[in-house]
Amino acid sequence: MRIALGVEFDGTDFCGWQQQRTGRTVQGSLEEALTRVADHELRTVCAGRTDTGVHATGQVVHFDSLAQRDARAWIRGTNANLPADIRVQWARMVDENFHARFSARRRHYRYVILNAPCPSALLRSRSCWEYSALDATRMAEGARHLLGEHDFSSFRAAACQAKHPVRTLYQLEVLRQGNFLYIDVVANAFLHHMVRCIAGVLIRVGRGEAAPGWVAEVLAARDRTLSGVTAPAPGLYLVAVRYPERFDLPAGGWLPCYVR
């Protein structure tokens, strides 16, 4: 039996998603809890691996189990064995053709920026703090250059292991609400650090350090050294993964939205 789960977690105290020999990981904690519910060892596959400090409201995973449990049992039983910074939000029985990673058609990330003179004690691990005044209109203008299918070599980590750098961005929006800016990015898939690199470039444009057209120049150069600083991990959230309708899965998690 194959089961899909929707998972929410606070990535602050985790060494990313992927299980490691040392260090606390989301995958390791989740698999330990699921193993207790299933009464046999199992392994999970996720829609998208997240780095240290990155959060998720709409991560999707799947696993195979011989255990006969209904959705309620998987949710309640797993949550009872999880630490407080991970929670299973839903469970669905899916056919064996479903794959959390390869069946996904779109992934949605939100990057949260607190744009204020002083940092927040409460949101230090939930957002990126930027004290310089950011122009959201300029950032949105620059963002438009990244829409569509492109070679995103300028927006990938040096250690990125993807076989090719071509990705398709369906949505890239910048929204200001009070002292917060939200960057919403939807694509078919992402390169390592891609969203954080995009956020870093747009922040430079928002500060007035570069013109909106510079974003197109960075993209065309296919050179990571030109794109500037990678934005910090705490502002990044995986909020939704989209699958074909035949799998009948929930639309995604909640969008982090703060008020100050």
Catalytic residue numbers read 51
Phi-psi region of 186 (alpha: psi -120 to 50; beta: other; left: phi over 0): beta
Cβ–Cβ under 8 Å, residues 49 and 194? no
Neighbours of 154 (CB within 10 A): 24
Write out the DSSP string of 87-139: EEEEEEEE-TT--TTTT--EEEEEEEEEESSS--SSSTTTSEEE-S---HHHH
Cβ–Cβ under 8 Å, residues 227 and 201? yes
Residue 45 in tokens: 């596959």
**DSSP-assigned beta bridge partners for residue 63:** 3
Residue 73 in tokens: 């049992």
158 CB-side CA count, 13 A:
4
Element (H, E) at 148: strand 148-151
**DSSP-assigned beta bridge partners for residue 182:** 112, 175
Cβ–Cβ under 8 Å, residues 5 and 91? yes
**Closest C-alpha to 184, from 256, 134, 121:** 256
Residue 115 in tokens: 């744009």
